[in-house]
Structure 1
Amino acid sequence: MLPGPRAVRLLPLLLCLLLAGCGAPATAPDPAGREIRRAVADWSRQPPDALAALPLTRWTYEVTSVRRDGPRALVRADLSYRLAGYDTDPAGSGRELALAREDGAWRVRADRPAPGAPAQLWDQGEVTVVRGAHGLVLGGGGQPPRTLEAVAAGTDRAVGAASAAWPRPWAGRVVVLVPASLERMAELLGGEPDAYRGLGAVTTGRAGAGPGPADRVVINPQGYAELSERGRQIVLTHEVTHVATRAATSATTPLWLSEGFADWAAYRGSDITPERAAPALGRAVRRGELPGSLPDEGAFAFGTDPEAAARAYEGAWLACRLIAARWGEDALVRLYEETGRRPLPDALGRTLSTDPAALTAAWREALREELR
């Protein structure tokens, strides 16, 4: 703002368990603690039925604490897992496991998100898997296969568009989550539903170079369903572009450039005009409210004034559109790369031979001309 697809069956699971030293000090061995951790290891070899269709190649629990109260125990653990063919770096999740001692043995009775940790899709019920040429679509809550197949086809197109706009190496594969509702989406993201209301999708994953993060595009089924077919494709391409550019994105990348580039990739090659694609900003410009500066970080925050957020996204897109038109598409890509390594003024000087003030002035003039 995460060729014909087909449903896939269970792939072999390679399950393992890493046990961290926790519980009593080495000088005071805790046999019960060892039994509890062993029970977690035994249980992990039989994953929940909801995981049956996931192409897992890694499933690891690292126990971080054990709290025992008579015949009951609570275990905190860090789950690490990888989806075959899609994750170059494992995804993670904080988990809490409840165990009970029954018939002389400890057994896991519940596995849930740790307090404060987001839910996983399988916490919400059985997961349906549809695979496209470049996307793995995971549906929750009984999403119909035809919906997931349409998302997979759109994801394939989005990967092609993102790769054309970002001609740099990246995995070229994406995992898309389609939960059952807006509320379920919020559970996956660890936020409140109102923060995502009206959005078509968002992307997770950490920014920066190094091992590729396990990005997920998470669709808001409510907002996504309200979009036209073209609107859905724009949303998917925008989010997939975030995945493609992730390794080049850092804390020094301005949010207007990150969001604007994703929209530029989504609109690139289309016949859409600024008047049609930037209605909120157009209304402001025609009222005489020409923005004085490029959108700041806070303008893009979830849950803010929808009209203000729309103006921020539209302005960011028009800034990237201006750069591509005046300095060239390759210059825009190089600017994105440079801002991931150094502050914007230095990056602008190296790539466009300009500075923030001159770029802002050119952008404001373009807004006057195109949105009057």
Structure 2
Amino acid sequence: MCLAVLAPAALAGCGRDDPADAAPADVRRLLDRRAEAVLERDPVAYRATGGPTAAYDRLRDVPLKSWTYRLKDFERDGARATATADLSYRVAGYDRAPLTAERTLSLQRRDGRWQITAERPAAKASEQLWDQGRVDAVRGTHSLILGVGRERAELRRYAELADRAVPAVRDAWRGDWPGKVVVLVPKSLDNMADLLGAPASGYQGIAAVTTGEAGGSGRTPADRIVVNPDAYGVLGELGKQVVLTHETTHVATRARTSRATPSGSPRASPTGSATAAPTAPPTRPPPNSAAPSSTDACPPPSPPTTPSASAATRRGSRGPTRGPGWPAG
């Protein structure tokens, strides 16, 4: 397990503190202890760092390989302070490199010791799934499904579909990729948008998107397939399979995908089908990756002779699909 190790470099933004003030160093050690408590699944040690254990409880089902904080900024006002830190973490068995998210922490000094009273996304950072509630994890053979506010039976169904998608994509794409996917299933469209750091209006009717670095190396973190449960839920079984298979294709081919690769939007129609829209909604890169990243809103596969045709027809029927080896577009 990787525990938090913080650089001893001087902090930007600490000019308001007396140089002799030991508070930043104390806060670094506090964040070290909190990171260790999360990794060791130690609620007593977590509680000792301050604040309620609600955030800890929300994370308990997530398999973590590493969890570290790097203090970036510290501003003190008497017995209270605000800190900004980079949280880096890896999901065990899935992430090749840490994902990083900027966090804001509120602190208070009690009985001569600093304690954390609150932790939240920084002003320009997107939410993490556990910010939205308790995360339930379902492990498949080739997948990890993380959901908030969803029934476990529903998450198991996602795992079944993802476990079918991965071998299909692996057979069609021989490139170097982990052969595993992480699927995030938030409670609603609004929650999906909060994970992506973009307006919900840009994702209405879009069943799923894949986040990650376009044209990245094998050292970049595992991509995340982020589901819009509102749109995904109206699809038939074939449509759901097509969407997850297509998004898995993006995970597999990410290192060979350039930022110029055309990408459309997976949309759900009132008939319960997945249809391809010609363009993706405007988004900004999510800040939760180890390298500059992009968010692809990708269309489900469709036959090459009819690019805008439905990739899956009414619930229960057999609509045309194309294999996962087809390029995104």
Q: TM-score range by the shorter chain?
A: 0.7 to 0.9
Aligned to 2:102: 94
Q: Does 1:16 align with 2:16?
A: no
Q: Does 1:38 align with 2:45?
A: no
SS in 1 for 2:68: strand
Gaps of 5+ in 1: 1-12, 263-275, 281-298, 305-311, 322-328, 337-372
Aligned residues: 271
Q: 1:65 to 1:147 in 2, by over 3 A?
A: same
Q: Does 1:170 align with 2:177?
A: yes
CA–CA separation in structure 2 for the residues paired with 1:277 and 1:204: 20
Aligned to 2:210: 203
Aligned to 2:286: none
Q: Does 1:148 align with 2:139?
A: no
Q: Is the 8 A contact 1:17 1:59 kept in 2?
A: no
CA–CA separation in structure 2 for the residues paired with 1:98 and 1:27: 20
Q: Is the 8 A contact 2:32 2:68 kept in 1?
A: no
Letter in 2 for 1:155: A
Q: Is the 8 A contact 1:43 1:108 kept in 2?
A: no
Q: 1:129 to 1:81 in 2, by over 3 A?
A: same
Q: Is the 8 A contact 1:138 1:178 kept in 2?
A: yes
Superposed displacement of residue 165, structure 1: 2.3
Aligned to 1:318: 304
SS in 2 for 1:77: strand
Letter in 2 for 1:140: V
Greater fraction of residues in helix = 1
Q: Is the 8 A contact 1:17 1:44 kept in 2?
A: no
Letter in 2 for 1:37: R
Letter in 2 for 1:41: D
Superposed displacement of residue 35, structure 1: 1.9
Gaps of 5+ in 2: 39-55, 267-272, 284-297, 308-321
CA–CA separation in structure 2 for the residues paired with 1:144 and 1:277: 23
CA–CA separation in structure 2 for the residues paired with 1:192 and 1:16: 33
Q: Is the 8 A contact 1:59 1:79 kept in 2?
A: yes
CA–CA separation in structure 2 for the residues paired with 1:53 and 1:190: 24
Aligned to 2:238: 230
Q: Is the 8 A contact 1:170 1:244 kept in 2?
A: yes
Q: Is the 8 A contact 1:196 1:303 kept in 2?
A: no
Aligned to 1:126: 134
SS in 1 for 2:212: coil
Aligned to 1:300: 279
Q: Does 1:190 align with 2:181?
A: no
Letter in 2 for 1:300: T
Q: 1:185 to 1:138 in 2, by over 3 A?
A: same
Superposed displacement of residue 250, structure 1: 1.9
Superposed displacement of residue 303, structure 1: 6.7
Mapping of residues 46-85 of structure 1, within 5 Å: 46-47=37-38, 48-85=56-93
CA–CA separation in structure 1 for the residues paired with 2:25 and 2:116: 14
CA–CA separation in structure 1 for the residues paired with 2:57 and 2:66: 16
Superposed displacement of residue 237, structure 1: 0.6
CA–CA separation in structure 2 for the residues paired with 1:69 and 1:14: 33
Q: Is the 8 A contact 1:128 1:139 kept in 2?
A: yes
Q: Does 1:157 align with 2:164?
A: yes
Computing the radius of gyration over CA atoms, which structure comes out larger, 1 or 2?
Answer: 1
CA–CA separation in structure 2 for the residues paired with 1:26 and 1:201: 46
SS in 1 for 2:66: strand
Greater fraction of residues in strand = 2
Deviations 1:241-270 (CA, angstroms, capped at 9, x unpaired): 00000011123x4315xx69x9xxxxxxxx
Superposed displacement of residue 39, structure 1: 2.1
Deviations 1:319-345 (CA, angstroms, capped at 9, x unpaired): 798xxxxxxx9xx88xx7xxxxxxxxx
Q: Is the 8 A contact 1:24 1:30 kept in 2?
A: no
CA–CA separation in structure 2 for the residues paired with 1:137 and 1:315: 22
Aligned to 1:267: none
CA–CA separation in structure 2 for the residues paired with 1:156 and 1:186: 25
Q: 1:279 to 1:181 in 2, by over 3 A?
A: closer
Deviations 1:126-167 (CA, angstroms, capped at 9, x unpaired): 1101000000000112x1110000000000111122112212
Question: Percent identity over the alignment?
Answer: 44
Deviation larger for 84-93 or 240-249: 84-93
* Cα RMSD after superposing both structures: 3.2
Mapping of residues 209-358 of structure 1, within 5 Å: 209-210=216-217, 211-251=219-259, 253-255=260-262, 299-302=278-281, 318=304
Deviations 1:7-37 (CA, angstroms, capped at 9, x unpaired): xxxxxx6432424531359993331222222
SS in 2 for 1:318: coil
Q: 1:120 to 1:314 in 2, by over 3 A?
A: closer
